[in-house]
Structure 1
Amino acid sequence: MAIGVFDSGVGGLTVHHRLVERFPDADFIYLADQANAPYGGRPGEEIVELTKAGCVRLFDQGCDLVVLACNTASAIALRRLQQTWLPGYRRETGRKVNVLGIIVPTIEAATGMPWEHEAERRGDKVEKLDILGVFATAGTVSSRVYEIEIDKRRQDVAVFSEPCPDLVPLIEGGAGPVELAKAVEAHVATLSKRIGRTPDRAILGCTHYEIIADIFRAALPPGTPLIHQPQSTADALARYLERHPDYVAGASGKRRFLTTGQPGPQNGLVQTFWGGPLSFEAA
């Protein structure tokens, strides 16, 4: 089998890259739904259907395990698919397939707590709040998944989210550093104004944003810690595979890159991040 990695576009390559580093012998198939990107402004039901279709494509390609390297899909579609669609799909196909997301490992990294942990509500006064900024798509922000799930685990962490609907189209379109820096600086300024100061830490809550992490670092105060989703996702997948040895990730080191959009070479911004030429096949 291979491990599938799914995103609406090229942002999931940041997760894919780290997974390949962590599991160099495993087989990976990456699918970018560029024909329908970005997902952030789409209705919830549409995001669920598009995500399901992407998973089916990867299952059809031989993947038994799919990682949703997309915050919007993870926030809006993942639980629905796991609870209402996957059980029937498994029965119909006789295959033990599964779909994992990236929000759970990100929240574990942000809180330092396992997903199963929930804080006791004792009414103790919080002496010092840790202000956590989340930069994400409009869909992820509207789900309030980070606010809700982090509050369950850490009462001393206050989450403020900033929707950045312009960033994914800019990154997918290969925008230059000046244009990207202007957009990121505006979002950091907007969030900081709403909080009353800059955040203590930040989550880049869209995998596309990892491609321009250096621009976020420059826009935030020096030394502001960034919580990196690719690393936390790789760590979580390693733990998952240890607990489920029946999922075999392949051993040939095969890599395939598929797109529902225009096949061929990706833009210069993506290739600079990737470290060389990168071409997608038609899905």
Structure 2
Amino acid sequence: MTNNNPIGLFDSGVGGTSIWREIHNLMPNENTIYLADSKNAPYGLRPKEEIVALSMKNTEFLLDMGCKIIVVACNTATTNAIKELRSKYDVPFIGIEPAIKPAANNSATQTIGILATKGTLSSELFNKAVEIYQHTKIVEQVGHGLVELIESGQMDAPEMDTLLRSYLNPMIAANIDYLVLGCSHYPYLIPKIKKIIPEQVKIIDSGEAVARQTQHILREKVGLASNRKGSAVFYTNSDQKVLSSLLNNEYQVIKKDF
């Protein structure tokens, strides 16, 4: 079954491009439309009702563009709003959640760390997932300020290293052997994180698994694109420079109020 309509992705900002990259690498023939709601970032500090409303607004933008499937490339939006999105819209949704399962199942020290936003860590969906792993010590840490620095183009600011050390050092002291990144912005910080944590601590993010699940749902229910190179268009309601720089200035970034 062939379906050349685009895959739609949205995030509270630029971080979900880490998910987009995995999808694009796995399915280069697919057309994609990415929506960065940077004006309202971070979602992690907002109440659930607001996160749901913003997620619906983003979904409707992408549906108006003819998207055949929506990837909620934001942990906070997934854990707070995906149930409401699936009940309201007749299109498949792919969510992104912190990858607790592979970390907990493979941890030798039975201690894992999770770095995420407040909105994700306090969500009902996240806490239900945590309850399954009673025999694993889960060290949770809210990444206060990290998304804001990434969104403002200050990934290499000294403050970023200071914040990361303050968040990761207690996890190291607790003897974690897996670090789960529970925000789609955080994979961009992996090079910095690797300089802080011991070499034996494995870092897990959800990007590759989300891409595989998207491919599976397309193949089973929606249809994959035909055998040609796909296009990629990016929209933001904030400054285009940060998004363009994360994409190495290789793609069109359109500023649009939404």
Distance 1:249 1:282, change over 3 A: farther
Q: Does 1:160 align with 2:160?
A: no
TM-score, scaled to structure 2? 0.87
Q: Distance in 1 between matches of 2:126 and 2:224?
A: 31
CA gap of 1:189–1:203, structure 2 versus 1, over 3 A, is: same
**Following superposition of structure 1 onto structure 2, how do residues 142-181 of structure 1 map, counting pairs within 5 Å?**
142-143=122-123, 145-152=125-132, 154-175=133-154, 176-181=156-161
Cα deviation 1:167-217 (Å, max 9, x = unaligned): 00001111125321111111113445xxx5132201111111111111112
Could you report, residue by residue, the CA deviation over 1:36-73 in whole angstroms, capped at 9, with x for unpaired residues? 11111011100000011001100101102010110000
Distance 2:136 2:55 in 1: 31
| 1:274 CA displacement | 3.5
Q: How does 1:75-224 map to 2 (within 5 A)?
A: 75-83=79-87, 85-86=88-89, 90=90, 97-103=91-97, 106-110=99-103, 130-143=110-123, 145-152=125-132, 154-175=133-154, 176-192=156-172, 197-224=174-201
Aligned pair count reads 249
Q: Which residue identity is paired with 1:216?
A: I
Asked if the contact 1:151–1:158 (Cα under 8 Å) also holds between the matched residues in 2, the reply is no
Determine the C-alpha separation between the residues in 2 that align with 1:157 and 1:279. 44
Match of 1:62 in 2: 66
Question: Any idea what the Cα deviations from partners look like across 1:231-254, whole Å, max 9, x if unmatched?
Answer: 12112222222332x334465501
Q: Amino acid of the residue matched to residue 23 of structure 2?
A: L
Residue 165 of structure 1 aligns to a residue whose secondary structure is: coil
Cα contact 2:177–2:200 (8 A) shared by 1: no
> Following the alignment from structure 1 to structure 2, what is the Cα–Cα distance between the partners of residues 65 and 142?
27
Identity %: 29
Aligned alpha-carbon RMSD (Å): 2.4
Amino acid at match of 1:133: G
Aligned partner of 1:280 in structure 2 is 253
Answer yes or no: is 1:231 the counterpart of 2:208. yes
Alpha-carbon spacing, 1:65–1:112, altered in 2? closer, same or farther (3 Å): farther
Structure 2 residue runs without a partner (length 5+): none
Give the whole-Å Cα distance in 2 for the aligned partners of 1:242 and 1:277: 28
Paired letter, 1:23: M
Question: Is the Cα contact below 8 Å between 1:6 and 1:67 reproduced in 2?
Answer: yes
Write the deviation string for residues 92-133 of structure 1: whole angstroms up to 9, x where unpaired.
Answer: xxxxx22220117x34544569xxxxxxxxxxxxxx752111
Change (3 A) 1:233 1:184: same
In structure 2, the residue matched to 1:125 is: none
Q: Where do 5+ consecutive residues of structure 1 fail to align?
A: 91-96, 114-127
Q: 1:18 aligns with which of 22, 25, 33?
A: 22
Amino acid across the alignment from 1:259: T
Question: Are the equivalent residues in 1 in contact too, given 2:111–2:137 (CA < 8 A)?
Answer: yes
Equivalent residue number for residue 237 of structure 2: 260
Q: Which residue does the alignment assign to 1:243?
A: 220
Give the superposition deviation at 1:27: 0.4
- Tell me the TM-score normalised to structure 1 length: 0.80
